[in-house]
Structure 1
Amino acid sequence: MTILAYSQEKIIFKDDFNQTQLDTIYWNYDLGDGCPELCGWGNEESQWYQKENIKVKDGFLHIKSSKKDQQYFSGKITTKDKISFQYGIIEVRAKVPNGKGLWPAAWLLGADISEVGWPACGEIDMLEYLGRDPNHLYTSLHTPASHGETINTKRTFVKDIDKGFHIYKTKWTKEFISFYVDDLLLYTFSPEVKNDETWPYDKPFYLILNLAIGGEFGGKEIDDTALPQEFVIDYIKVTQ
């Protein structure tokens, strides 16, 4: 069931993926390889996103990475132009895949990206895991003052993070953005000077879930023997 309403808990959006298919009232599929505007989706990634690699079953969202005839496939969904919000607590319970070249992520982009572009829109990376770097999580912020190889990032050792499900949480306020896994604080971002260059976070953002393959950050070396693999999401929730 997908929820879009205020309740006593002030849940403004929740999807626990208990339906039989993706709820396209709230989610969009991003398809293809990003060409011609953003080939390789800006990171020289190897995957072609397709609907077939996204399944909702048994109460979970499954985003599968696969390879067929020398082509890599995976899935990506967003709430762009459907669900956006300003400030809140974003929580994702998920199980990440492992294998060199795999790059699962839960993240947010400024809803004004079509008007101002990236990085002016801002980006919040609440979960990035790299199969080439086992037992480490990456949490990052991309702003006009620091983007690409951003300085606003934290690489944290979390033993067995690729074993079983974990809860990834981001607290976003007008003063700071903090990242957690299983209630362990990983990183807090709160620049002393907050302006459009350093803090493009006083406006609505939308949600993204995807599993990239390869690329500059994911790693050029891809372990084909690890495929297929799945990024499995139990639920995603936003409260205020």
Structure 2
Amino acid sequence: MKKKSSLYISLLVIIFVLLYIVLNDNSSAQNENLNYLEVTTNSDYDNLVWSDEFNGNGKLNSEKWFHQTQLPPGGSWWGGIIQHYTDSETNTYMENGYLNLVAKKETLTDQGETKHYTSARLNSKFAFTYGKVEVKAKLPKGVGTWPAIWMLNTNIDEDGAHWDNKGLGTTKWPNCGEIDIIEHWGKNQDYVSSALHNGSSYGGHVKNVGGRKIKNATDDFHIYALEWTSEKMIFSVDGVNHYEYNPKVKNSKTWPYDSDYYLILNIAIEPNIDPNFKESAMLVDYIRVYQ
């Protein structure tokens, strides 16, 4: 009897130990999930103030979008890119509920300049200060493609831009401020980047930048988001944050981000474009702005 009792006690101890381990592991996993959700879903903005769902087929809604096509002085766009931006429906159209913004290999002479690639650059006719932007998009594919979803201050002095045409252009880049929600370079497949350009960080000296690798940026849709408050900016993909900008000193050089900005969608073509490139599109399911 004593041997049996000892055996029963030993078995009970083992069972209790195993139960403790299992329950503790589950508790840890639940806590990890809770922490993950706290990081990725917390937002002060839930009121939809502007959107485009791109329902329908054919041309874009001209009440929401402006095609920026005017070349800068010198006849080429900044950054050494080699395409013309056009307002042609072959470069920008809606189909089956998606925006198709298409980069193509084709020769076009415009504004006295001949280029061998075309694309589109869209300015939103909506501008805002502070809020959350969500863009569900699939990015174009190919070495030399450079798609971007980004924002500029309505005060940028840039001939041919929508808000400059409205007479608001008073401040040169980079002091006007730029917010890059997402950029992707085909030469670095699946790496997405977010950045802030301003008087303290711009051009080849950008230090306000962060990014990460994601899966299938050019084959699957992902949700690219910015949350912008009076204190900081948080950038994320599919709810996972990858960069936060919150300078300790906020002045005209580090924080020109307290006035209205508008959205820009474009695909640039770099000089190292794959010679076999024909065309590729950025597909956008929706753009939504919350405040």
- Of all paired residues, the percent bearing the same amino acid is 36
TM-score by length of 1: 0.89
What do the CA deviations read for 1:95-149 (whole angstroms, capped 9, x no partner)? 0011111011100001111111111110000010000001201100001111112
Matches of 2:75 and 2:203, distance apart in 1: 16
Partner residue in 1 for 2:275: 224
Partner residue in 2 for 1:217: none
Partner residue in 2 for 1:93: 136
Matches of 2:130 and 2:72, distance apart in 1: 32
Partner residue in 1 for 2:95: 57
1:12 is the counterpart of 2:12 = no
1:134 is the counterpart of 2:189 = yes
Matches of 1:193 and 1:58, distance apart in 2: 47
Q: Matches of residues 114-193 of structure 1 in structure 2 within 5 Å?
A: 114-149=169-204, 150-193=206-249
- Secondary structure of 1:83's partner? strand
Q: 1:207 aligns with which of 253, 263, 278?
A: 263
TM-score by length of 2: 0.74
Question: Is the deviation greater in 149-158 or in 129-138?
Answer: 149-158
Matches of 2:290 and 2:138, distance apart in 1: 21
- Secondary structure of 2:170's partner? helix
Larger relative helix fraction: 2
Matches of 1:211 and 1:30, distance apart in 2: 12
* Stretches of 4+ aligned residues off by more than 4 angstroms: none
Question: How far did 1:163 drift?
Answer: 2.3
Matches of 1:63 and 1:161, distance apart in 2: 16
- Secondary structure of 2:136's partner? strand
Matches of 1:40 and 1:100, distance apart in 2: 20
Amino acid at match of 1:103: W
CA, structure 1 residues 58+135, in 2 after alignment: closer, same or farther (shift >3 Å)?
A: same
Matches of 1:43 and 1:168, distance apart in 2: 23
CA, structure 1 residues 187+39, in 2 after alignment: closer, same or farther (shift >3 Å)?
A: farther
CA-based RMSD of the aligned residues comes to 1.5
Partner residue in 1 for 2:80: 44
